[in-house]
Amino acid sequence: MTSRKETSGPADPRFFKRAGPFDAAALAEAAGAELAPPRAGAMPAGGYTGIAPLQGAGPADVSFLDNRRYAPLLEQTGAGLVIVAPAFAGKVPAHSAALVTSAPYLAWSRVARLFHPAVPAVAGVHALACIDPTARIDASAEIGPFVVVGPRAEIGAGCIVGSHAVIGEGVQLGRDCRIGSHVTLSHAVLGERVSILPGARIGQDGFGFAVGPQGFETVPQLGRVVIEHDVEIGANSTIDRGSVNDTLIGAGSRLDNLVQIGHNAQLGRCCIVVSQAGISGSTVLEDYVTIAAQAGLIGHIRIGAKARIGAQCGVMSDIEGGADVIGSPAMPFREFFRNVAVLRKLAKKASGSPQGGADKV
Amino acid sequence: MTSRKETSGPADPRFFKRAGPFDAAALAEAAGAELAPPRAGAMPAGGYTGIAPLQGAGPADVSFLDNRRYAPLLEQTGAGLVIVAPAFAGKVPAHSAALVTSAPYLAWSRVARLFHPAVPAVAGVHALACIDPTARIDASAEIGPFVVVGPRAEIGAGCIVGSHAVIGEGVQLGRDCRIGSHVTLSHAVLGERVSILPGARIGQDGFGFAVGPQGFETVPQLGRVVIEHDVEIGANSTIDRGSVNDTLIGAGSRLDNLVQIGHNAQLGRCCIVVSQAGISGSTVLEDYVTIAAQAGLIGHIRIGAKARIGAQCGVMSDIEGGADVIGSPAMPFREFFRNVAVLRKLAKKASGSPQGGADKV
Amino acid sequence: MTSRKETSGPADPRFFKRAGPFDAAALAEAAGAELAPPRAGAMPAGGYTGIAPLQGAGPADVSFLDNRRYAPLLEQTGAGLVIVAPAFAGKVPAHSAALVTSAPYLAWSRVARLFHPAVPAVAGVHALACIDPTARIDASAEIGPFVVVGPRAEIGAGCIVGSHAVIGEGVQLGRDCRIGSHVTLSHAVLGERVSILPGARIGQDGFGFAVGPQGFETVPQLGRVVIEHDVEIGANSTIDRGSVNDTLIGAGSRLDNLVQIGHNAQLGRCCIVVSQAGISGSTVLEDYVTIAAQAGLIGHIRIGAKARIGAQCGVMSDIEGGADVIGSPAMPFREFFRNVAVLRKLAKKASGSPQGGADKV
Domains of chain A, CATH where assigned: 11-115 (3.40.1390.10), 183-329 (2.160.10.10)
Share of chain A above pLDDT 70, in %: 95
DSSP string, A35-79: EE--SSS---TT-B-EE--GGG--TTEEEE---GGGTHHHHH---
Q: Which of A40-49, C277-286, C292-301 has the lowest mean pLDDT?
A: A40-49
Question: What whole-number distance in Å separates Cα of residue C133 and Cα of residue A344?
Answer: 66
Which candidate in A14, A254, A342 is best for mutational testing of the B interface (most B CBs within 10 A)? A14
Task: Read off the pLDDT of each residue in B172-199 and give the average, rounded to a whole number.
Answer: 98
**pLDDT tens across C154-197, in order?**
999 999 999 999 999 999 999 999 999 999 999 999 999 999 99
Task: Read off the pLDDT of each residue in B81-87 and give the average, rounded to a whole number.
Answer: 96
- Across the interface, which of A113, A236, A350 has its CB nearest the CB of B238? A236
Q: What rounded mean pLDDT belongs to chain C?
A: 93
Residue A76, burial from CB neighbour count under 10 angstroms (0-12, 13-18, 19+): exposed
- Across the interface, which of A3, A14, A128 has its CB nearest the CB of B170? A14
Residue B349, amino acid: K
What does the buried/exposed string (b/e) look like for B116-131 if buried means 16 or more CB atoms within 10 Å of the residue's CB? beeeebeeebbebbbb
Task: Read off the pLDDT of each residue in C240-263 and give the average, rounded to a whole number.
Answer: 97
Residue A282, burial from CB neighbour count under 10 angstroms (0-12, 13-18, 19+): buried
Share of chain B above pLDDT 90, in %: 89
CB atoms within 10 A of CB A49: 18
CA neighbor of C226 nearest in space, from C274, C263, C271: C263
Reported confidence tier of residue B6, pLDDT bands at 50, 70, 90: very low
Reported confidence tier of residue A8, pLDDT bands at 50, 70, 90: low
Task: Read off the pLDDT of each residue in B226-251 and give the average, rounded to a whole number.
Answer: 97
The answer, for B66 touching chain C at a CB cutoff of 8 Å, is no
Question: What whole-number distance in Å separates Cα of residue A142 and Cα of residue A129?
Answer: 11
pLDDT of A102 over the 90 cut? yes
Residue C112 DSSP SS3: helix
Question: What whole-number distance in Å separates Cα of residue A110 and Cα of residue B201?
Answer: 27
Contact of A161 with A150, CB cutoff 8 Å: no
Q: Look at residue C70 in the predicted model and tell me its pLDDT.
A: 86
Q: Look at residue A1 in the predicted model and tell me its pLDDT.
A: 35
CB atoms within 10 A of CB A7: 18
Q: Look at residue A67 in the predicted model and tell me its pLDDT.
A: 83
Question: What whole-number distance in Å separates Cα of residue B36 and Cα of residue B100?
Answer: 7
Q: Look at residue A357 in the predicted model and tell me its pLDDT.
A: 40
Kindly list the residues from chain C whose CB atom is less than 8 angstroms away from the CB atom of residue A299: none
List A residues 159-198 in contact with C (Cβ-Cβ < 8 A): 164, 166, 169-170, 174, 182, 184, 186-187, 189-192
| Contacting residues for A76 by C-beta, under 8 A, at least 6 apart | A54, A55, A93
Contact of B168 with B150, CB cutoff 8 Å: yes
Q: Please tell me the pTM assigned to this model.
A: 0.95
Residue B36 DSSP SS3: strand
Q: Look at residue B32 in the predicted model and tell me its pLDDT.
A: 95
- The shares of helix, strand and coil residues in chain A, as percent rounded to the nearest 5, are 15, 25, 55
Which chains share 3+ C-beta pairs under 8 angstroms with B? A, C
Share of chain A above pLDDT 90, in %: 89
Task: Read off the pLDDT of each residue in B327-355 and give the average, rounded to a whole number.
Answer: 88
DSSP string, B178-202: EE-TT-EE-SEEE-SS-EE-TT-EE
Task: Read off the pLDDT of each residue in C106-110 and give the average, rounded to a whole number.
Answer: 96
Phi and psi for B335 in degrees, rounded to 5? -65, -40
The answer, for C230 touching chain A at a CB cutoff of 8 Å, is yes
Distances (CA, A) of A44 to A60, A62, C314: 6, 11, 58
- A229 catalytic? Reply is no
pLDDT of C314 over the 60 cut? yes
Q: Per the residue annotation, which of A164, A182, A187, A263 is the catalytic one? A: A263
CA neighbor of B163 nearest in space, from B120, B200, B198, B196: B198
Q: Look at residue A284 in the predicted model and tell me its pLDDT.
A: 98
Question: What whole-number distance in Å separates Cα of residue B266 and Cα of residue B250?
Answer: 8
**pLDDT tens across A47-85, in order?**
999 999 998 899 999 999 988 888 999 999 999 999 999
Reported confidence tier of residue B353, pLDDT bands at 50, 70, 90: low
Q: What rounded mean pLDDT belongs to chain B?
A: 93
Q: Are strands B331-332 and B324-326 parallel, antiparallel or unpaired?
A: antiparallel
The answer, for B334 touching chain C at a CB cutoff of 8 Å, is no
Inter-chain residue contact B328 with A344, CB threshold 8 Å: no
Which value does ipTM take for this structure?
0.94
Question: What whole-number distance in Å separates Cα of residue B115 and Cα of residue A98?
Answer: 65
Under DSSP, the state recorded for C279 is: E
From its phi and psi, is residue B300 left (phi > 0), alpha (psi between -120 and 50) or beta?
Answer: left
Which candidate in A131, A166, A217, A249 is best for mutational testing of the C interface (most C CBs within 10 A)? A166
Task: Read off the pLDDT of each residue in C31-56 and give the average, rounded to a whole number.
Answer: 94
Q: Which residue of B has its CA nearest to C182?
A: B182
Task: Read off the pLDDT of each residue in A87-113 and give the average, rounded to a whole number.
Answer: 96
Reported confidence tier of residue C9, pLDDT bands at 50, 70, 90: low
Q: How many helices (DSSP H) and strands (DSSP E) are in chain B?
A: 4, 38
Inter-chain residue contact C10 with A182, CB threshold 8 Å: no
Residue A106, amino acid: L
Residue C355, burial from CB neighbour count under 10 angstroms (0-12, 13-18, 19+): exposed
The answer, for C222 touching chain A at a CB cutoff of 8 Å, is no
Residue A183, burial from CB neighbour count under 10 angstroms (0-12, 13-18, 19+): buried
Question: What whole-number distance in Å separates Cα of residue C292 and Cα of residue C277?
Answer: 7
The answer, for A236 touching chain B at a CB cutoff of 8 Å, is yes
Contact of C303 with C315, CB cutoff 8 Å: yes
Handedness of CA B279, C273, A165, A272 (dihedral sign): negative
- The shares of helix, strand and coil residues in chain B, as percent rounded to the nearest 5, are 15, 25, 55
Q: Look at residue C8 in the predicted model and tell me its pLDDT.
A: 52
Q: Are strands C188-190 and C225-227 parallel, antiparallel or unpaired?
A: parallel
Residue A85, amino acid: A
CB atoms within 10 A of CB B314: 25
CB-side exposure of B342: number of CA atoms within 13 Å? Answer: 26
Residue C284 DSSP SS3: strand
Residue C68 DSSP SS3: helix
**pLDDT tens across A129-172, in order?**
999 999 999 999 999 999 999 999 999 999 999 999 999 999 99
Task: Read off the pLDDT of each residue in A216-224 and give the average, rounded to a whole number.
Answer: 96
Cis amide bond preceding A44, omega within 30: no
- Across the interface, which of C7, C67, C108 has its CB nearest the CB of A226? C7
CB-side exposure of A226: number of CA atoms within 13 Å? Answer: 26
